[in-house]
């Protein structure tokens, strides 16, 4: 732009180099004393002079459209514009047609510099690297992308955001990150994601920890192959086969440091080693000692064993192999058989005690008979 305006100035200057007087026509007016070039479209009925070129001696500048006399602005048309120097302005507009429709602009104010597109898409392309830097003297400022329906970042090799400040993406309806290989997020102060829903449709790895919510919930992965769930409330982990339900099964850590399972069954295809297992059951076998309990006779027990190959009320080997056992129910059934054995033992003891009395009476009578016989034979 500077070269173009300078060229115009020298053309005007050359036109007056032979004549030291004011050059004037219906369409332009060149002041030989001040160097001001005034223009108007006289053929179109424009009678107002406008300062097209004005040299300013105090600042050594050439001003185009001085004072904004051309209220519609200044346009430079052509395939390219070369400015050999700096361009100072508060806003640069971009047009896509001859009608002057603004499709985007760069605007500077006291808050910073805005690059704004009024169209459906804005692309920043680079042959190799595309870098964003934001900083102040001695400090690091923020880089922000905001107020858009969609933000897409696509690269063939990699996209790197580096800095000691913050990287914020605000007020987006959707954020898509599409890469061929890996997505790496490295932040010294952490990564903060605030959204109603956050999904990752790929294999993910975390070298430190993940926190969420407002109660200090923490997923820690920095202990080798272990995984930690921490929180100031009640930590739990939900599983569901249906997205419309809250959960089908829940692992929950209760206040007494007990890990509980609710809403489903816990299946272990292996061995469980424990110092102690506490089983709660709604059925127990104290009914064996009730007066109305009919204790099977030993003859009935013998007959059932001979016909079925196992005790009554106890599952067979085939049933256990097929269906397994309920630990609480089986303990209750085994206790039932122990209590029945206890009753059989008590019954046998009573019979033995009674038989011992009978035997003692018979022994006493036998002793008397032997004494009488001995006296008679003397």
pLDDT in tens, 177-226: 666 666 666 666 666 666 667 677 666 666 666 666 666 566 665 555 55
Is residue 279, in this structure, part of any structural domain at all?
A: no
Using the 8-state DSSP alphabet, how is residue 26 labeled?
S
Residue 262 has pLDDT above 60, yes or no: yes
3 and 41 assigned to the same domain: yes
- 313-340 burial, b if ≥16 CB within 10 A, otherwise e? eebeeeeeeeeeeeeeebbbbeebbebb
> Domain ends where: 200, 216, 244?
200
Give how far the C-alpha of residue 145 lies from the chain's centroid of Cα atoms, to the nearest Å. Answer: 20
Which three-class secondary structure state does DSSP give residue 27?
A: coil
Q: What is the pLDDT of residue 20?
A: 42
Q: Based on the number of CB atoms within 10 Å of its own CB, is 57 exposed (0-12), middle (13-18) or buried (19 or more)?
A: exposed
Strand-pair partners of 24: 29
In the chain, the percentage of residues whose pLDDT exceeds 70 is 63
How far from the centroid of its chain's Cα atoms is residue 351's Cα? 75
Q: Mean per-residue pLDDT for 314-323?
A: 93
Residue 147 located in a structural domain: yes
Question: Distance between CA 62 and CA 2 in Å, rounded?
Answer: 9
Of the residues 200, 224, 257, the one at which a domain ends: 200
For 101-105, 290-294, 349-353, which range has the lowest pLDDT when averaged over its residues? 101-105
Residue 188 lies in a domain: yes
191 inside domain: yes
Residues 37 and 9 in one domain: yes
In a domain, 34, yes or no: yes
Last residue within a domain, chosen from 122, 146, 167:
122
Provide mean pLDDT across the span 101-120: 77
Neighbours of 30 (CB within 10 A): 21
Within 10 angstroms of residue 94's Cβ, the number of other Cβ atoms is: 14
Q: Is residue 360 over pLDDT 50?
A: yes
For the ranges 48-62, 128-142, 357-371, the lowest mean pLDDT is seen at 128-142
Q: Does residue 314 sit within a domain?
A: yes
Question: What are the C-alpha distances in Å from 119 to residues 82, 97, 298, 376?
Answer: 26, 13, 95, 142
Please give the pLDDT value at position 292.
93
> What's the confidence (pLDDT) of residue 139?
43
- In the chain, how many domains are there? 5
Give every CB contact of residue 242 below 8 A, 6+ residues apart in sequence: 248
Q: What is the rounded CA–CA span in Å between residue 170 and residue 145?
A: 7
Is residue 275 situated within a structural domain?
no
Please give the helix or strand (H or E) that residue 318 lies within, else none. helix 317-323
- H/E element, 285: none
Sheet holding 217-220, edge to edge: 209-212, 217-220, 228-230
pTM above 0.85, yes or no: no
pLDDT at 56 over 80: yes
Same domain? For 182 and 221 the reply is: no
For residue 291, pLDDT beyond 50? yes
Give 118's pLDDT tier (boundaries 50, 70, 90).
Answer: confident
Q: Within a domain: residue 151?
A: yes
pLDDT at 162: 63
- State the residue range of the domain holding 102: 89-122
Q: Are residues 141 and 95 both part of a single domain? A: no
150 and 220 belong to one structural domain:
no
């Amino acid at each position: 732009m500077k070269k173009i305006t300078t060229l115009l100035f020298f053309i005007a200057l050359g036109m007056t180099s032979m004549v030291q007087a004011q050059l004037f026509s219906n369409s332009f007016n060149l002041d030989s004393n001040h160097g001001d070039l005034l223009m108007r479209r006289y053929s179109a009925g424009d009678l107002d002079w406008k300062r097209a070129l004005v040299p300013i001696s105090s600042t050594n500048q050439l001003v185009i459209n001085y004072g904004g006399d051309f209220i519609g602005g200044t346009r430079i048309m052509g395939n390219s514009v070369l400015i050999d120097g700096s361009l100072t302005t508060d806003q640069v507009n971009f047009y896509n047609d001859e009608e002057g429709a603004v499709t985007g602009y760069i605007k500077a104010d006291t808050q910073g510099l805005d690059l704004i597109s009024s169209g459906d898409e804005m692309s920043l392309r680079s042959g190799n690297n595309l870098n964003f830097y934001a900083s102040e003297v001695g400090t690091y400022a923020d880089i922000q992308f905001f107020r858009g329906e969609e933000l897409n970042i696509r690269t063939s090799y990699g996209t790197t955001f580096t800095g000691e400040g913050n990287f914020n993406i605000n007020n987006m309806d959707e954020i898509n990150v599409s890469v061929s290989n890996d997505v790496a997020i490295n932040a010294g102060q952490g990564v903060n994601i605030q959204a109603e829903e956050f999904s990752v449709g790929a294999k993910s790895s975390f070298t430190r920890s993940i926190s969420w919510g407002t109660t200090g919930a923490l997923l820690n992965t920095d202990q080798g192959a272990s995984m930690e769930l921490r929180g100031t409330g009640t930590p739990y982990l939900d599983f569901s086969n249906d997205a419309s339900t809250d959960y089908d099964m829940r692992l929950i850590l209760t206040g007494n440091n007990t890990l509980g399972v609710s809403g489903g069954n816990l299946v272990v295809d292996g061995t469980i080693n424990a110092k102690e297992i506490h089983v709660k059951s709604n059925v127990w076998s104290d009914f064996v000692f009730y007066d109305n309990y009919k204790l099977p006779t030993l003859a009935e027990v013998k007959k059932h064993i001979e016909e079925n190959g196992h005790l009554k009320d106890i599952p067979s080997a085939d049933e256990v192999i097929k269906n397994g056992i309920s630990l609480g129910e089986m303990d209750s059934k085994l206790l039932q058989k122990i209590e029945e054995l206890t009753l059989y033992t008590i019954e046998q003891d009573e019979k033995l005690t009674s038989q011992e009395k009978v035997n003692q009476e018979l022994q006493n009578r036998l002793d008397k008979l032997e004494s009488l016989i001995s006296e008679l034979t003397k």
